Amino acid sequence: MFRLAVALMVAALSSTAFAKPPDGVRWAGSWQIASDEAMDRHVPILVVFVRQDEAGLALEKSVLTGKEFIAASKKWVTVYCNRDEGQPEKKEGDKSFSTLTPGITVDQHKAAWKELSARFYKTDDANAPSVVWCNPEGEEFGRLEGAVTSRDLVAKMGEAVKKLGPGLEAGDYVDAISHLAAADSASQAKKTGEAVREYSEVLKMQKKPGAGGVVSRAQAGMDRLNNSGRVVMEQANECTAAEDFARAEKLLKEILDNYRGLPIAKEAEKIYDDVCKKAKAKEKDRIDGGDGKR
């Protein structure tokens, strides 16, 4: 149902996927990334077309960097499109990024313009400045063209977001995919306890609007871990049936230590004490010269 794989979740946090300046707008680096996240968060997409001209620079200075727009953008996924040369850039290592959208390159601005101008204007010459809003599938349901004030744009955004919302806000989503990426990494490294803790942080979001996508992935991760714990439980049951209680005790202890918080740990807890008693009794019989059977 959800197209975001682990690699995309990690990419969504990287500098080339999203620009996330401190307390700023979190610009998406491409339409595909924007569409995937918007679907996952159940929020609309805001596409901004600007040129390196007086009107475009005015929109950037008076609207796109303003506190009102930044606050409103948390309920959206935003994409910046600009095809012009001369966009301000900042060098970071061997790469150059836009100063307006740190972490996103000017080439990405140009690629977004080409793709989204064709989508919404059926031409490579979109009207600019303009703002288009659409659902995650790219179906437009509003736009503003020409000069626009921050107040007018934010008001329109407030009206438009109600058509798809309520959705998961950007900050909560960033936290969720951070925990999911950490959980998946820990799971692959066999650090089960750490993975459970990270997935659990996402499950705490289940009552937040629009959190269904990330919560379902966290639950799927927990289910995978529980299933791996069940394999250990089956081994413990086999050892118990063979009266190898010492081995069964170790396996159950492994489940209790590493799978705490999962259903399989509760199952292990129910039989752990009994297996421990049998292991001690068998060891005593061995020492006393008995056959250890009960």
Strand partners, 77: 45
Rg of the chain on CA atoms, in Å:
27
Which tops the pLDDT comparison, 207 or 4? 207
Distances (CA, A) of 290 to 6, 239, 255: 55, 20, 30
Per-residue model confidence (pLDDT) at position 166: 85
DSSP-assigned letters across all residues of 207-233 = TSTT-HHHHHHHHHHHHHHHHHHHHHH
Assign 102 a pLDDT band (cuts: 50, 70, 90).
Answer: confident
What's the whole-number average pLDDT of the chain?
88
Give yes or no for a cis peptide into 129 (omega within 30° of 0): yes
Q: List CB contacts of 241: < 8 A, sequence separation 6 or more.
A: none
> Exposed, middle or buried by CB within 10 Å (0-12, 13-18, 19+), for 211?
buried
Per-residue model confidence (pLDDT) at position 1: 41
Q: Is the pLDDT of residue 294 over 50?
A: no
Pairing of strands 89-92, 95-98: antiparallel
Most confidently predicted of 21-25, 94-98, 123-127, 248-252: 248-252
Assign 24 a pLDDT band (cuts: 50, 70, 90).
Answer: confident
Mean pLDDT of 163-184: 92
Mean pLDDT of 22-44: 91
Assign 16 a pLDDT band (cuts: 50, 70, 90).
Answer: very low
| DSSP state at residue 137 | T
Phi-psi region of 50 (alpha: psi -120 to 50; beta: other; left: phi over 0): beta
- Name the pTM for this structure: 0.80
Per-residue model confidence (pLDDT) at position 9: 44
Per-residue model confidence (pLDDT) at position 2: 39
Strand partners, 143: 132
Assign 95 a pLDDT band (cuts: 50, 70, 90).
Answer: confident
Per-residue model confidence (pLDDT) at position 290: 52
